[in-house]
Amino acid sequence: MKIVPVMLLALTISGVLVAQESKKVPKDSVRVSIPGCAKGYVFTVGPRTADQPGTSGPSDGTHLRMNASKKTMTEIQRQEGMIEIVGLMKKNDMMPAGIGIGNVRISPGASPSGSSSIPGPASTQIMIDVEGWRRIAGACPSH
C-alpha cells in the first residue's frame, strides 16, 4: 500500500518542523529583539528603529553581557556596524535598578566612610542568552 509510506513521510516532516521551533521561554524570562552594537561579549543597546516603536527592553546605552554558542559569538564579533540580537533575558533585568518612588528611582550610593557595600560590576551585569542576530542599517559610534 502506498498510503503508509506517504503517512510516514508526513510524520517525519512534521517532526522536523516541530524540532525547529523556538525554545520555550521560562516563566521568569522574556524573549527580546534589541538593536545595538557588539564589542567582544558586550552588547550596547542602541535606539529603537521606526518599525519597533513600542518594543519593550533595556533602554539606549545599556550594556548587556552576551551568552551564545562559540559559532554565534564568532559571527557577531566579525560584524562592524549595527546588529539586532534576539534572545532571552530575565524579567528582573528589564527593570531599572533601585526603588521607584513616583517618577524617581532611588538606588544605593557610596558610603561616606569610603567603604563600599555596592556589588561589583560582574555581579550586576545584565545577561542575554542570544538565540540569533541579523545585520541592520546604521553605524556604531566609535569610542
Q: Residue 141's pLDDT is what?
A: 81
Q: Residue 17's pLDDT is what?
A: 37
Q: Residue 118's pLDDT is what?
A: 52
Q: 27: how many CB neighbours lie within 10 A of its CB? A: 7
Beta bridge partners of 37: 44
Per residue in 58-107, pLDDT (tens digit) is 888 899 999 999 999 999 999 888 999 999 999 888 766 666 666 565 66
Specify the higher pLDDT residue, 75 or 141: 75
Domain ranges of the chain: 26-97+121-138
- Report residue 131: phi and psi, to 5°: -100, -30
Q: 34: how many CB neighbours lie within 10 A of its CB? A: 24
DSSP label at residue 64: E
Specify the higher pLDDT residue, 138 or 6: 138
- Nearest 5 degrees, angle CA 109-CA 113-CA 118? 35
The three cell numbers of residue 105 are: 528611582
Per residue in 7-31, pLDDT (tens digit) is 544 544 444 333 334 678 889 999 9
Contact between residue 136 and residue 84 where contact means Cβ atoms under 8 Å apart: yes
Class of domain 26-97+121-138: mainly beta
- Please tell me the pTM assigned to this model: 0.65
Per residue in 49-59, pLDDT (tens digit) is 666 655 567 88
Residue 131 pLDDT class (50, 70, 90 cuts): very high
